[in-house]
Structure 1
Amino acid sequence: MQTRFPFVDWFRNSSPYINAHRGRTFVILIEGEAVANGRGEQLIQDLALLHTLGVRLVVVYGIRPQVGAALAEAGIEPVRHDGRWVADAPIMRCVERVAAEQRLWLEARLSLGLPNTPMHGVELTAVSGNLVMAKPLGVREGIDFDHSGEVRRVRSAAVEALLERGSLVILPPLGFSSTGEVFDLDAAEVAQQAAVALKADKLILLGEAEGLHDASGALLRQLTPDEATSLRRAAAPGSEMARHLAAACEAARHGVARTHLVSWHDHDALIGELFTRDGVGTMITQHRYEQLRPAELGDVAGLLELLRPLEERGMLVARSRERLEHEIDDYLVIERDGMIIGCAALHPFVDAAMAELACVAVHGDYRGGARGALLLAEIERRARRRGIRALFALTTHTAHWFFEHGFRLADIDALPPLRREAYNHARKSKILLKPLD
């Protein structure tokens, strides 16, 4: 049954992510091109929404196009080397001015209580300051980079204190030295170093590209830093892709659990990446902590251990080792560090173009997330590939979960003949049906 309001289904499906993100620390880089192309207002509203949902936000902003325009207006042609410009005194004056202007613009927009937007009635305290310490790049390959610098350290304790007070922290692409100098920094490096220093849960890089693609042009959903190495090497030095990949890979290697590459061109990218099952961009992560995959015979012992508590409580029909081994090709599992923590089975009835969704289970220590929904989504994809037009499920305890995921009550006549004959009337399981469009 289709809801009258598509938003309701989206909201139901996003609720596990809302719970998972509450209290987490996200470092978000907004490149200067996003603001220059009119996307700043929407992104500000999305930041306000994340703040209201309890996410602790550190926002890093880029200023490259704005500084480039200011330099062109002043008739200054910067010396560039290896993707960075040499920030001499005239260039540094432009950098400082533009950085201040952009910070004030961000703070002003974050202070608006815009009606009919996520910012209506929201009071955000945005704080910036000398939170990033820097050092000069120095002389490299015979080039003196003057006031072009790199991050020495992020004052993580000061940033943490601000986040604990409910503030949104703004970091410009500037750094300060103990001698009172100001240095021009790469915004992507600032974001990466901040994420590492804060042990952030996520680093989100909003750039031109929607993510990374394979040779056929298909979007790559998840990569390790090692898998991204060839793409990083192929990117032009100093390009946004090179900078973002360097930041993502370094963050992953230094303990940031997830880095997301998404495009500011997509108005739904930030929220879509964080609150939908598949996301919209590419995620870089050092370890594949969990993977969803087809079950193998070697998983039977893990499946038995996962299912036993649910069978003892009467939530699932008991399955023997022999039955699991015989039906193992019907199963999907979620494995976490070698442990089976979730499973689901798809038993097809080809003549009826239907299939039974069975044995949906998630380990008790890992419930409350989106793993059940993830299993269901993969089961549905597998069913569609086989030409299945509808799923059915039998349950005695968890009908509400199926209702939330698009199933509706049906009677026994809706079952395929073979399954109808095997129905256990003593168990009185509810019959639930979901058409696959």
Structure 2
Amino acid sequence: MSKSTMNRLSLIIQREYLTRVRKKSFIILTVLMPFLMVAISLVPFWLSTLNDGSIKNVAVIDNTGIYAPLLKSTDQYDFQIIGSAELQDSESRLGKDLFAILQITNDLSKDPRAVSLTSEKQSPMELQSLIERTLNEKLTEQRLDELSNSSNVDSEAISQVRNILENSSGVSLRTLRMGDDGSVKESSTEIASIIGMMFTILIYMFILLYGNMVMQAVLEEKKSRVVEVMISSVKPVNLLIGKVVGIGLVGLTQLAIWGIMTSVLFTGVSFFIANPEQAVAVSSEMNDFNIEGILNSIMSINWLELLFYFILFFIGGYVLYASIFAMFASAVDSEEDTSQFMTPVTLLIVFAFLAGFYSVSNPDGPLAFWTSLIPFTSPIVMMVRIPFGIPFWEVLMSLVLLYGTFILISIFAAKIYRVGILMYGKKPSIQEMMKWVTYK
């Protein structure tokens, strides 16, 4: 390569490098991005550790009298020991001044499943962990006492102690939910958490996937100048609406197919487990997972309600973000130029996902409550909370705010779209795009 060619190449490299490094957007993102990433990762985690400030009352009925005194009240939970005769009165107080009822019906060293936790809402993991940890400590102590009373303390006894601690099963806390009609069904916080996260991941994935699909469609039509022909017969606003709705229907179609296939597979598995002739084929190792209990927990969830809310929040979240994606795509000429506008939007979606992830452990905390009301995060976070059982007014308020916001954003985006879709050769600033809104 000649010297003159090397000089020209170095000039091109220098120009390309300096042109981008000197941009305000590059400098701002370079300086702020580490702080934003730390804040997006740590702030939701910190907020998830906060509680709503109220103390939840838990009634404890212990027929053995062994375990109840060991349950010490905390800043969040107040354990109140009551008698068996007060059970009916306590059940009528569930969801009011009483959060849950813990019942221990037998010696746990003989029957580790003789303990249940009944609540109106899905009981949080934190409460279950506190109860299981306390009861398991006492159960281990009981088993060690039984061993020391039945054998001499020698190397063989020490070996037996070790085997007991490593291999023995601990307390199996059954969680129950009481319905509005007084019926009690077995539930599972783990199942509710998994289902909530599954729907949250679906909404997060589809908003990004189909929002980007809208952006790509707008960019392709603008770069190929096809849009100039299309708007000669269709108003830009109608073109935007058609694009958002059409791509959204693709997403709903895919979700519907997935839902039908999952239902068929789940029904097949349920029949296989429930059919006595087929159940013989299930190995003893699989029985250790308490498959029947898991299926009962899954069936205790109101799937129609969950799917109904999922569709509503998916539509609201998709239209909200798709309008934003289309708005910014119409204002630029290439995909590279969208990064200036799309980076903050993407970070907001990532923050919503992390907020939903951390809200699983504390679905009634400040983080979960407020992010499930803010329209830009509610579609993702609310799907984590719904399986745990939340007041209807919270869901209704979240939907009203979400749909009200996406209508305003859609109108705003349509006004920018009608101007930006015909603008070429210049990447506008935010201030200039604000002026487009006022154009007649």
Larger RCO (CA within 8 A; separation ≥ 6): 2
TM-score, normalised by the number of residues in structure 2: 0.30
- Higher helix proportion: 2
TM-score with structure 1 setting the length: 0.31
Structure whose residues are more often strand by fraction: 1
